Structure 1
Amino acid sequence: MLVALLLSRLIFKHPFASIWWNILKEDRPGLPSYTQAYTRGIKLLPLLEHVASPAQPCAEVVIDSMPLPICRPKRTHLCQFPGAKWGFGTQGEFFGYKLHAWVTPGGQIVQYVIRPANLHDVTVSYELNLRWPEFEGPTIIGDKGYCCLGYVYPPKKNTKYDTGWRESRHPRIRKRIETVFSALVEAQIRSVQTKTLASLKLRVVLAVLAHNLARP
């Protein structure tokens, strides 16, 4: 029940976790404090991550990454967040991590990893590919950042082979992951108030679970 209540804030899109928890406690006097609930959530993190990414058959998946900044740029010289690095996203440089994910054409996040922002998308994609057999060998659709053999991606001007990209269908499929990432941003996974890697992972896994549960 604890996990369900933590997820409920994201499903109902309430912006403030502690206020939402106090609302829940009004007719549930036996609930622990929000701090206690959050601490218990951290302890359940390995189980939640396993539940969020079960093996399942997929014909196609879309791969991409999104920034997870952990502090504002002007405060990076004071930041001691373990493992955080400078990276580059569509909106410029940031300090923190990246979320790399596989998303189905239907909008389900089937697996993801959180890695330092300085790692190239292709490098991390090979880590995701380790689970490729568990998903029955789906076709992986990326953008031009994934321009290597084994992926379907938009060809560059100097590409001399067929990348598998078809303008009649793949742009529409690619747009799905952008919609999913927008939903995760709305769930506040980019909050710069995160202080530890475990709390960042909990924030992300709850957002992923809530997204998949609320998906039509």
Structure 2
Amino acid sequence: MARYRLHHSLGRRAVIRQIHRWAKRHFSDLKRCSHQKLSDALLVALLLSRLVFKHPFPSIWWSILREDRVDLPSSTQAYTRGQRLLERLEAVATPSKSCTEVIVDSMPLPVCRPKRGKRCSFPGARWGYGTQGDVYGYKLHAWVTASGAIVQDLVRPANLHDTTVSDELNRRWPDFGGPRIIGDKGYCCLGYVFPPKSNTRYDTGWRPGRHPRLRKRIETVFSGLVEAQIRSVQTKTLRSLRLRVVLAVLAHHLAQP
């Protein structure tokens, strides 16, 4: 994926132009009918611009955009169209490419505050445990390269164990050239590189002088996604949550130097 030096200092219009230039290579820039107000490419560019400027509220950001473009559809219509492009966005965000090694980890995606978990009716959400305590919702499981690129990600219920979802990630393992997978102690099984436990009887491949620095890379990437409001609880369906995740992943790639 091509990368751009996107920053809010460039100005809103300049950032949107750069993202639109990239989006035209993956999405149609033609209107399908006479009453359609936006092409798919321009819609994706406008949705991604919010993540570049780290604005926390999608509806307010869309109102700001409508000050410059009075012919834009409503925010509800825009994000509904964005959900229709979800599968294509996910394919663009995680293309197959050769990697020598990847770091695997997960981060919680709560859909409500823990005290409201019993009353929450979010479809598919489950109770799980994260490093900061109990979480009700989902988890983002991802592969990250040493350079900080997210090459694969999945959103799954929070009650699923990391190794269970990692087996699902491994289905695309040949598409990435069979990379070495580096995890933490939660991925203590054959085929992974992880810190050995006290009762481990074989060499796990973990090297204290190198692998802890690689593990820090995925934590830095996750921190950037959190800063992009990926954990905002303003979502009501799984598709809208997946759209929030894939837009944050795409914005992360485009903003990398």
> Matched residue of 1:130: which SS?
helix
Q: Over aligned residues, Cα RMSD in angstroms?
A: 0.9
| % identical equivalent positions | 75
Per-residue Cα deviation, 1:84-139 (whole angstroms, up to 9, x for no partner): 11100000111111100000010010001111111110011000000000000000
Q: Distance in 2 between matches of 1:99 and 1:93?
A: 15
The residue number in structure 2 matching 1:49 is 90
The residue number in structure 1 matching 2:46 is 5
Q: Distance in 2 between matches of 1:20 and 1:151?
A: 42
Unpaired segments of 5 or more residues in structure 1? none
Matches within 5 A, 1:1-216: 1-216=42-257
Q: Distance in 2 between matches of 1:30 and 1:141?
A: 48
Letter in 1 for 2:155: I
Moved more, 25-34 or 79-88: 25-34
Moved more, 175-184 or 24-33: 24-33
Q: Distance in 2 between matches of 1:111 and 1:55?
A: 9
Q: Distance in 2 between matches of 1:64 and 1:183?
A: 15
Moved more, 122-131 or 31-40: 31-40
Per-residue Cα deviation, 1:18-71 (whole angstroms, up to 9, x for no partner): 222122222222211111111110111111111111000001100000001111
1:16 deviation in Å?
A: 2.2
> Matched residue of 1:156: which SS?
coil
Q: Distance in 1 between matches of 2:56 and 2:241?
A: 16
Q: Distance in 2 between matches of 1:194 and 1:16?
A: 11
Unpaired segments of 5 or more residues in structure 2? 1-41
> Matched residue of 2:142: which SS?
strand
TM-score normalised according to structure 2 size:
0.82
Letter in 2 for 1:157: S
Q: Distance in 1 between matches of 2:117 and 2:56?
A: 25
Moved more, 14-23 or 37-46: 14-23
Question: Is the CA contact (8 Å cut-off) linking 2:141 and 2:165 kept in structure 1?
Answer: yes
Q: Distance in 1 between matches of 2:225 and 2:252?
A: 7
> Matched residue of 2:115: which SS?
helix
> Matched residue of 1:165: which SS?
coil
> Matched residue of 1:77: which SS?
coil
- Runs of 4+ more than 3 Å apart: none
TM-score normalised according to structure 1 size:
0.98
Question: Is the CA contact (8 Å cut-off) linking 2:108 and 2:139 kept in structure 1?
Answer: yes
Letter in 1 for 2:236: K
Q: Distance in 1 between matches of 2:254 and 2:231?
A: 20
Residues paired across the two proteins, number: 216
Q: Distance in 2 between matches of 1:158 and 1:74?
A: 38
